[in-house]
Amino acid sequence: MAREPKLSLIPLGGLGEIGKNMMAVRFGENILIIDCGLMFPEEEMLGIDIVIPDITYLLENREFVRGIVLTHGHEDHIGALPYVLRQLNVPVYGTKLTLGLLQGKLKERNVNALLNTVKPRNIFQIGPFRVEFIRVSHSIPDAVAIAVHTPVGVIIYTGDFKFDQTPVDGQVTDFNRLAQLGDKGVLVLLSDSTNAEIPGYTLSERMVGKTFDDTFRQANERIILATFASNVHRLQQAIKVAHKQGRKVSVVGRSMVNVVNVAYELGYLNIPEGVLIELDEANRLPGHKVVILTTGSQGEPMSALTRMALSDHRQVDIVPGDTVIISATPIPGNEKVVARVIDQLFKQGAHVIYESVSSIHVSGHPSQEDLKMMINLVRPKFFVPVHGEYRMLIKHAEIAKDVGVLPQNVFVAENGHVLEFTRRVGRVSGRVTAGKVLVDGLGVGDVGNVVLRDRKQLSQDGILIVVVTINREAGLIVAGPDIVSRGFVYVRESEKLLEEARAKVKSALDLCADRGISEWSYIKSQVRDALGRFLYEKTRRRPMILPIIMEI
């Protein structure tokens, strides 16, 4: 009897977290990758710029990787590609805007890749997989769900979506095609869980346009609007309302300037002639004639809005009478920094309108009723919630069971799980390497838990450097010990403590000399231990202690 063909789905990112979305689809010796995103560092990841998926599994199976397909152009779906494509030279497939945004990122990092533009409803072959793009609504144009026709059955990966009946660009989700696939039979649905905890339906993006209209009309002076750089629909509505009310628009923030340029060149942004002006020119106009579009809706330390709030921006100062609109919801974990920026803006005299007190933002993700509709349209045999923190995945799994998916056919997985499906059954069959790779400056993956732990210790208790010069033959201390403190105590006010610390170091060195110990690593360890115990007794702090012993 012939063995039943098996299909494996292996999430390498995006499960149990918001960001770094990446899914591997494997059939035999063929692997297709869906999305390749980054996430921003958590609070305790000191000094880390971004986090990307661990692709050890793909590198171990590099000869089987046939290509990467992309759902849309947000960072959490394409942001890791400049790093991944250095190690995996495979073709990339996406819609026009998605690849336009990706191209800029690859050029910036000097990465070459074979990019293939695909339109919604197009079907193309990658190895044994027939791949189809299906249009969906989201907060960025050209977003698609991906149907992968495999020898085992059809899987649908929704990507980020919402059911917007009145989208800004008029491109409604392809309900018809989703229903057709549902009629033919879908093996597995992998669906966006971001808003699985939120009841009801997600509102249309046009609601924000109406709020902009009212808010812009009521503002007597300059308007500063912060939103996600990639939210092209939001930018389009702001430009449209500004033009209607006789205001000029200036764009601030490198990522937003890049997105506006790419979206305009590719025809996804309609900007009336003369509306877009340089910031220098905007600064010469009266306030009631100006709208500034800026980055910084998440309170990022180096973003334009944060620098404005702290009076640290070279060209824009917040002045009393300015209306600042923050048109975004804080990503989980960013709430505190966003609140701090809002406080600073109020202190500068601005009138601040933010999501929790207005309808200035709507989500790009599906709420509970939208999720039910997607499952009912597609009617999958198996269901896997993706794109969300663990509690969101659990909630989405409950929703799937409520609308009729058999409980044994719903899989709440974690990054690295191998989900194996035949036409009849599904199971978790194992685990592969998956996790976080930290990017710090030009270093990719060279900062691990040990370095982060050291950074945390330095940030909490500071560092003490002990410098001593020894004549090893005579067993004498020639110079020192000198103690340099950074971030531990203020030297001028702690002379007695540091004097006692020097004595402890001297005692540890004398003890080593008396015992005839000459091994440097052992001597340093003794100094570190003796000083560490003493300082903890005196201060209840544990600074990093760095002994430097020189020999003459």
> Distance (Å, rounded) from C-alpha 65 to C-alpha 499?
63
145 and 251 in a common domain: no
Strand partners, 36: none
* 192 part of the active site: yes
User: Choosing from 365, 387, 396, 417, which is the catalytic residue?
Assistant: 365
The token pair at 480 is 């020192």
Residue 408 domain flag: yes
493 and 398 in a common domain: no
CB 165 within 8 A of CB 361: no
Question: How high is the pLDDT of residue 48?
Answer: 64
pLDDT at 440 over 90: no
146 and 295 in a common domain: no
Residue 286 domain flag: yes
Strand partners, 426: 421
pLDDT > 70 in the chain, percent = 88
Place of tokens 């197009």: 122
Place of tokens 């000198």: 482
Residue 467 domain flag: yes
How many other CB atoms sit within 10 Å of the CB of residue 205?
Answer: 25
- Using CA atoms, how far residue 17 sits from 158, 370, 457, in Å, is 17, 21, 26
Last residue of a domain, one of 333, 355, 377: 355
Question: How high is the pLDDT of residue 457?
Answer: 59
Banded model confidence at residue 301, pLDDT cuts 50, 70, 90: confident
Q: What is the pLDDT of residues 391-418, one digit of tens each?
A: 999 999 999 999 999 999 999 999 999 9
Residue 377 domain flag: yes
Residue 1 domain flag: no
Burial of 424 (0-12, 13-18, 19+ CB in 10 A): exposed
Residue 2 domain flag: no
Banded model confidence at residue 1, pLDDT cuts 50, 70, 90: very low
350 and 232 in a common domain: yes
For the chain, what is the domain count? Answer: 3
How many other CB atoms sit within 10 Å of the CB of residue 409?
Answer: 17
* 169 part of the active site: no
The DSSP letter of residue 492 is: G
Last residue of a domain, one of 355, 385, 411: 355
Range of the domain at 108: 7-200+363-444
pLDDT at 448 over 60: no
Q: What is the pLDDT of residues 177-217, one digit of tens each?
A: 999 999 999 999 999 999 999 999 999 988 888 889 989 99
> Distance (Å, rounded) from C-alpha 194 to C-alpha 200?
14
User: What is the pTM assigned to this prediction?
Assistant: 0.82
How many other CB atoms sit within 10 Å of the CB of residue 10?
Answer: 24
- Work out the average pLDDT over 312-320: 90
Going 245 to 249 to 253 to 256, the CA torsion angle's sign is: positive
Residue 538 domain flag: yes
187 and 114 in a common domain: yes
Banded model confidence at residue 331, pLDDT cuts 50, 70, 90: confident
- Work out the average pLDDT over 257-275: 92
> Distance (Å, rounded) from C-alpha 74 to C-alpha 219?
31
**What CATH number did the domain enclosing 196 receive?**
3.60.15.10
187 and 64 in a common domain: yes
The DSSP letter of residue 289 is: G
Residue 496 neighbours by CB under 8 Å, 6+ apart: none
Last residue of a domain, one of 419, 444, 469: 444
> Distance (Å, rounded) from C-alpha 489 to C-alpha 306?
31
458 and 410 in a common domain: no
- Work out the average pLDDT over 422-427: 92
402 and 263 in a common domain: no
Burial of 215 (0-12, 13-18, 19+ CB in 10 A): buried
Place of tokens 């990966």: 157
> Distance (Å, rounded) from C-alpha 143 to C-alpha 97?
9
User: Choosing from 192, 322, 370, 461, which is the catalytic residue?
Assistant: 192
241 and 143 in a common domain: no
Closest CA to 389 of 70, 3, 21: 21
pLDDT at 292 over 70: yes
47 and 144 in a common domain: yes
The token pair at 109 is 């990092």
- Work out the average pLDDT over 329-348: 86
Q: Alpha helices of 26-66 — where are they, by DSSP H? A: 56-60
CB 223 within 8 A of CB 291: yes
**What CATH number did the domain enclosing 532 receive?**
3.10.20.580
**What CATH number did the domain enclosing 229 receive?**
3.40.50.10710
346 and 265 in a common domain: yes
329 and 283 in a common domain: yes
- Work out the average pLDDT over 287-298: 91
> Distance (Å, rounded) from C-alpha 356 to C-alpha 361?
9
> Distance (Å, rounded) from C-alpha 549 to C-alpha 506?
12
> Distance (Å, rounded) from C-alpha 391 to C-alpha 193?
10
> Distance (Å, rounded) from C-alpha 200 to C-alpha 142?
25
Question: How high is the pLDDT of residue 479?
Answer: 66
State yes or no: cis peptide before 53, omega within 30 of 0. Answer: no
Residue 240 domain flag: yes
| Secondary structure, 3-state, 432-486 | CCCCEEEEECCEECCCCHHHHHHHHHHHHHCEEEEEEEEECCCCEEEEEEEEEEE
pLDDT at 257 over 80: yes
The DSSP letter of residue 496 is: H
